[in-house]
Structure 1
Amino acid sequence: MLVFPNAKINIGLNIVEKRPDGFHNIESCFYPVGWKDALEITTITAFSVEFDGIAIPGDQSDNICVRAYKLIAEEYPLPPVKIHLLKAIPIGAGLGGGSADAAFAIKALNDLFELEISFEKQLSYARRLGSDCAFFILNQPAYCFGKGDQFERIDIGLAGKWIVLVNPGIHISTIEAYAGVVPKPSGSDLREVLRLPVSEWNGIVKNDFEATLFEKYPLLEEIKAELYKQGAAYASMSGSGSTIFGIFDQEKDLVEVFERYKVWQGALQ
């Protein structure tokens, strides 16, 4: 079975408070975008894993897709499989690529072996694998809160708008990103703010990681400024990573403008 795990962006990201378990409560809008990996799962006589594309750090046997398989196999009789992942979504980029891979692995295993795992149970598996994995089970625009694993549907009317994502290749770990953040309650309801026209979001819809990470990595702020210069209605850093995105009212080709970096651009759905 071949599936294509897609990335997401964060539209607004408020770090509200630190939790007793060491995680942070956040408020954000997660929105799926078309930058995709390719994940193939097939039956085989002996379990195996193969990765291509962008190098994935760490032990292959502990990859999040493997952990998804093992988690389901604790409750369902799964045969050995071959997991082949072609990695295209940048890592440490704030795009949720690893979380998407895990969630799509859960869904693919469920479909491939006709396990009939309920939607709620798929969410439960996903939450055990990572804070934002659950989002990719439904994979539709959502207002996310808690650790990023609780969500509700949101309609912010971006269908048909054009997005450009620029990743300069800087890997920012979650630990590094949170080290510079002082949690604080947000002064407004993000869901209400996102009802405003996109052109009014600048200065209101904020990512709390930008303040410290832009100081540490000035290139990120330069990319954001260039997106506005190119006519973006709104631009921001996504998540806690190094990808900057710009939302445009009309199609825009900025590959040559950002030729030194990885760029994905396309229409929002």
Structure 2
Amino acid sequence: MTPALSLLSPAKLNLFLHITGRRADGYHELQTLFQLLDWGDSMRFTPNNGGEITLSGDTMGIPVEENLITRAARALPRNQEKHGVDIRVQKRIPAGGGLGGGSSNAATTLLALNQLWQLGLSSMQLQEIGAQLGADVPVFVGGQSAWAEGTGEVLTPVVIPESWYLVVTPDCHVGTAEIFSHQQLTRDTSPIKIAAFFEGHSRNDFQTLVRRLHPEVNNALNCLDKFGNARLTGTGACVFCSFADEQAARIALSEIPHPLTGFVARGINESPVLAALARARE
């Protein structure tokens, strides 16, 4: 039997996030820069010959059939009599934090099972399947930090100067659907070029609204602002600040007041394992 596969399911940051319009079907047009981190959840995939898909570990109280991990496994074209797997997940990425935990888990599942079950699907085919599961899944399937447009599915890999990040996790959950549908959300930001981001002309269009609705996020941003340009990731609730080196980030973490918590992680242009799995069928 094929041996088990253990993988890091990485978190991401949105280094900026602009909403540039709203389509007739209700979906939002956006621009963002996805930064992958060398920190995330641990996932282990153990094939079984019974055709059963099982999920254990830190399932966050989500029913198995509704969990994105299970849905990703079932979305693959498989022989239901012989393509089974036991999946165990150890979570570190908080839910509702804007770090992409569910999307990353789904993408890692697609990549792992494509290899374990020898399905031979290309990275593009896996990204198409992933897009049906969630807008952020395709970037994790590619395993590379990327500039994103459209609804998040038009991806251009980019090389970002390496930074260390302090990510603070306020004790609240921000509902993505609630924020996207809020009447006060800015939806008409003018599109920018990649060069404009590196020149500092960007923001997170959700930040003003989220900090108004969630005092915990406002407090976290105020605490981080003394270290640099603190910013919300995704629709929140997590906020982050970049540093030139790990030591500076860890010193800042030690100065974060109780009860705020956080972690330090390195930004990476490519997740070596996920990118290798993505390229294996190209």
* TM-score, normalising length: structure 1: 0.88
Count of residue pairs brought into register by the alignment:
258
| Cα RMSD (Å) | 2.1
Q: Following superposition of structure 1 onto structure 2, how do residues 118-267 of structure 1 map, counting pairs within 5 Å?
A: 118-157=122-161, 159=162, 161-180=163-182, 181-187=184-190, 189-196=192-199, 201=200, 204-229=201-226, 231-232=227-228, 234-251=229-246, 252-253=249-250, 254-258=252-256, 259-267=258-266
Identity of aligned residues (%): 24
Q: Does the C-alpha gap of structure 1 residues 33 and 106 become closer, same or farther in structure 2, counting only changes over 3 Å?
A: same
Q: 1:51 aligns with which of 53, 56, 66?
A: 56
Q: Does 1:95 align with 2:95?
A: no
The whole-number CA distance in structure 2 between the counterparts of 1:235 and 1:78 is 49
Judged with a 3 Å threshold, the aligned counterparts in structure 2 of structure 1 residues 190 and 177 are, in CA distance, closer, same or farther, namely farther
TM, length-normalised to structure 2: 0.84
For residues 181-220 of structure 1, what are the alpha-carbon distances to aligned partners after superposition, in whole Å with 9 as ceiling and x for unaligned? 4443323515122222xxxx3xx42111111111111332
Cα distance in 1 for partners of 2:79, 2:22 equals 33
Mark the CA change 1:168 to 1:78 in structure 2 (over 3 Å): closer, same or farther.
farther
**1:189/1:85 CA distance change after superposition, 3 Å:** same
Contiguous gaps of at least 5 residues in structure 1: none
| CA displacement 1:5-30 (0-9 Å, x = unmatched) | 10111011111122222221111111
Contact 1:35 1:264 in 2 (8 A): no
Q: Distance in 1 between matches of 2:82 and 2:35?
A: 32
Which stretch of the first structure deviates more once superposed, 178-187 or 36-45? 178-187
Please say which of residues 187-196 and 161-170 is displaced more in the overlay.
187-196
Going from structure 1 to structure 2, the CA distance change for 1:78 and 1:107 (only over 3 Å counts) comes to farther
Contact map agreement 1:12 1:190 (CA 8 A) in 2: no
> Structure 1, residues 191-250: CA drift from partner, whole Å, max 9, x if none?
122222xxxx3xx42111111111111332222222231x33x32000012000000123
